[in-house]
Amino acid sequence: MILVTGGAGYIGSHLVLELLKRGYKVSVFDNLSTGHIETVNKLKETGKKNFEFIKGDLNNKNEINAAFSKEINGVIHFAASALVYESTVNPAKYYENNFCGTLNLLNSMRENNVSKIVFSSTAATYGEPIKIPIDENHPQNPINPYGKSKLMIEKMMDDYDMAYGIKSVRLRYFNVVGADSKFRTGEWHDMETHIVPNILKSLFVKNQTFKIFGTDYDTKDGTCVRDYVNVEDLAQAHILAFEYLQKGGKTDFFNIGTNEGNTVREIFEYCSMITGKKIPFEIAPRRKGDPARLVADNKKAKEILKWTPKKTLKESIQTAYEWEKQLNLQKN
């Protein structure tokens, strides 16, 4: 059985669906602070006897220890606080939830002789880019507590490998987009910060206008360039990483992105084209700390994990739109 922390959240739930599809038994551990019980119910309906849910918090050592009462073959770890701006005004929350929570998890793994973990890291550990595309040798100088907490975890995992033999794969995501192709789960945050759902939400909220922050960057149309990876492709990367560890792979880290970039204006145009609707927007000043370009070099993941992104950006936005329509119907 695989323990998936944060499995009721956006990326975690897609990973659980793919694991269940492949016949794995899955135990989801989540405190539902940002995940949803509706998602858990959908996963339960899909997985039946191969799925179990434990409501618990990584900051409660008894609750996380209880999650290892069954035979766990490995851990895939998503549970974290993940809002960059919030981390700058409430860093204590990020060090407690992300670093301390992972420390508790790793110690429970030690106590229960579980030696393999795939960790949801982030491209935010790189900080301001000094070269594009960004490869895994790029210096890690995060500029906010969110990125710093994830980098601290990566360093801790190196130490736990050397001292205790716990092997880890850290996946450094770039921008994640899209929803499950069967619309069983998708992006569902109470405080949404990601560009595609925010553009799409503006279609369902009266008098809401999408803001484009900065049009004077040194890019082809003046707006920021980002690397957008499909959430189902990302789920595949986690399974390949887990299987890599199962086959005796060493502790390592990989960028998960497409090696391509799209501007904010291009994303906006794709959303307009796919929805067939005019989406209101306004130009706003640049946001502090927004680099002009963030694009992944994904050669290492391709060569070692044999992972290749397959979904196009248009496919990702189409599934995101269908999911957003479904969410809007639920609310009304």
| The token pair that represents 189 in the structure block | 């945050």
Please tell me the total number of residues recorded for the chain in this structure: 332
Partnered with residue 2 across adjacent β-strands are 26, 74
Please tell me the distance from the alpha carbon of residue 136 to that of residue 253, in angstroms, as a whole number. Answer: 7
Q: What is the CA radius of gyration of the chain?
A: 19
Question: 146 catalytic, yes or no?
Answer: yes
Contact present, 51 and 44 (Cβ < 8 Å): yes
Identity (one letter) of the amino acid at 44?
K
Q: Check 146, 244, 270, 321 and give the catalytic one.
A: 146
Contact present, 242 and 118 (Cβ < 8 Å): yes
| The token pair that represents 92 in the structure block | 């204590």
User: Pick from 234, 232, 241: which is nearest to 257 by CA?
Assistant: 234
DSSP 92-139: HHHIIIIIIHHHHHHHHHHHTT--EEEEEEEGGGSBS-SSSSB-TTS-
Cross-sheet strand order for the sheet of 167-173: 51-55, 26-30, 2-5, 74-77, 116-122, 167-173, 252-256
Strand, coil or helix: 52? strand
| The token pair that represents 175 in the structure block | 């921008």
Sign, CA dihedral 183-184-186-191, equals: positive
DSSP 302: I
Contact present, 133 and 225 (Cβ < 8 Å): no
Contact present, 30 and 6 (Cβ < 8 Å): yes
Identity (one letter) of the amino acid at 241?
A
> Catalytic amino acids?
146
